[in-house]
Amino acid sequence: MACLSSSRLCARVQDKLLCQFGHKVRKQTVFVKLKPPGPSPLRIFGKTCQRVTTCGPACGSSGFSAAATSGLVRRLASSLQSTSTGSLPDYGTQIVDPYRLLEDDLNGIYEDIRSELERNTNQSELNTIATYYFDGQGKALRPMVAILMARAVNYHVYGENSALQPSQRQVAMISEMIHSASLIHDDVIDQSDFRRGKPSVNVLWNHKKVAMAGDFILAVASMMIARLRSDDVTLVLSQVVTDLVQGEFMQLGSKETENERFAHYLTKTYRKTASLIANSVKAVALLSGADESTCELAFQYGRNLGLSFQLVDDLLDFVSSAQAMGKPTAADLKLGLATAPVLFACEKYPELNPMIMRRFQEPGDVEKAYELVHKSRGLEQTRFLARKHGAEAARLAAELADSPYQKGLVVTTDLVLNRIK
């Protein structure tokens, strides 16, 4: 599915390229690059880029130097970026790759987080644990969406000459820090072995120290929030932390009845995942000085994107391989959690109900549930729901003033839906 759509995406990009080929390629053109680079379609894409690069009249050498550290594909794509300083081009229906679009803003964001943490401690082991997950291997989805929204709203409010405010980039960093702090505590709670393809923190260090490192990251993030000196932003972001903990508490118990179960699941998903994205995009909108309805729009975009993201995550837990995910699959079942695919599968296979109630604890439960989910339409229905939230996010983004960043917000909903890890 993901492959299919990405190749379709590439085909569209190629069409676009060929169309433009006749004209001048002197505009700032940025294309979809799926993260991580997919298999064959992307290679074709790369070649296409190369062809255009060599022929394109306005591709100077400056593009190459800017992307010296990136991989080949990235470099080629980057070379397409013209240096024209004129007015931003009319993108029309062209597809935008948000990660490429924000390359300069996202560049060094992990380094900046690491140095912020380092500045705040004189204990080397604390620094080591706290910076462990900021190695640049993550998708940086949260900072990306925050910056994208920041630029889109700035454009919406101030027009095309608007720039990203330093405080908005801080919020992007803070969102990733809060996320990591919660991952670190999750690791201790769930005793996971691997995360992002490397041993998780609880395997490497004393659990008491790991818990403290999580508190430390939160404290530093909280200091950064305070330094923005905005009461409203602080309130919005403090809500995130409260939501995260309440979400964890909801995950502890499964005492609710069958009717309440799905609502419970959605609320939990909002609190554990969507709240962070929703409130951080709301915070950047507030910092932009946007009016209340725009801030609310940003919030709803983040909420829907977050829900869609987590639904896909729950789906991938059933269909992806352990290798692609960088963490074990069917992990949720093993943790005793009933996510959307299982809850949907319940409609067809009521025998799942007692298993959900006993949190898949009896031998064979996990395997049986896994099998039933695959036999049912649970995965399909989960994808449908994820699409619905994705479409709603895209619809909301479309209400913002037309800009590459606004397009990026729309594309992000696709990226989230079609990701393979």
Size of the site for another protein (CB under 8 A): 49
Is 331 a binder of another protein (CB under 8 A)? no
Closest CB to another protein among residues 12, 209:
209
Residue 382 Cβ vs another protein, minimum distance, rounded to whole Å: 27
Nearer to another protein, 30 or 220 (CB): 220
| Main-chain phi, psi angles of 195, to 5 degrees | -145, 135
Rank residues 218 and 325 by Cβ distance to another protein and give the closer one: 218
- At its nearest, how many Å lie between another protein and the CB of residue 372? 27
List the end-to-end C-alpha distance of the chain, in Å, as a whole number. Answer: 13
Among residues 245 and 263, whose Cβ is nearest to another protein? 245
Q: Of 7, 20, 70, 120, which one interacts with another protein (CB under 8 A)?
A: 120
Judged by CB under 8 A, the chain residues 232 through 271 that form the site for another protein are 234-235, 237-239, 241-242, 244-246, 248-249, 252-253
Q: Please identify which residue in the block is written with the tokens 């729950």.
A: 314
Of residues 32 and 286, the one with the C-beta less far from another protein: 286
Report d(CA 197, CA 257) in Å as an integer.
37
Does 191 bind another protein (CB under 8 A)? Our answer is yes
User: 196 Cβ partners below 8 Å, 6+ apart?
Assistant: 133, 135, 137, 138, 326, 327
Residue partners of 214: CB distance under 8 A and separation at least 6 = 181, 182, 184, 185, 188
Site string for another protein, 202-231 (x = CB under 8 A): xx-xxxxx-xxx-xx-xxx-xx-xxxxxxx
What is the Cα gyration radius of the chain? 22
Output 335 or 401, the one with its CB closest to another protein: 335
Q: Which of residues 159-188 bind another protein (CB under 8 A)?
A: 185, 188
Q: Which single residue is written with the structure tokens 């790369």?
A: 46
Give 212 or 319: the residue with its C-beta nearer to another protein: 212
Q: Which is nearer to another protein, 240 or 312 (CB)?
A: 240
Check binding of 362 to another protein (CB under 8 A).
Answer: no
In this structure, the dihedral spanned by the alpha carbons of residues 178, 394, 105 and 116, taken in order and rounded to 10 degrees, is: -10
Rounded (10°) CA dihedral 118, 121, 125, 129: -60
The packing angle between helices 378-398 and 340-348, to 10°, is 130
Q: Which of 125, 135, 256, 371 binds another protein (CB under 8 A)?
A: 125
Which of 106-114's residues contact partners 24+ apart within 8 Å by CB, and which partners?
A: 106/140, 106/143, 106/144, 106/147, 109/140, 109/143, 109/169, 109/172, 109/173, 109/176, 110/134, 110/135, 110/136, 110/140, 110/176, 112/173, 113/173, 113/176, 113/177
Q: How far is the CB of 199 from another protein (least distance, A)?
A: 11
Other Cβ atoms less than 10 A from the Cβ of 14: the count is 18
Stretch that binds another protein, among 75-83, 201-209, 287-295, 300-308 (CB under 8 A): 201-209
Q: Which residues bind another protein (CB under 8 A)?
A: 119-123, 125-126, 185, 188-189, 191, 202-203, 205-209, 211-213, 215-216, 218-220, 222-223, 225-231, 234-235, 237-239, 241-242, 244-246, 248-249, 252-253
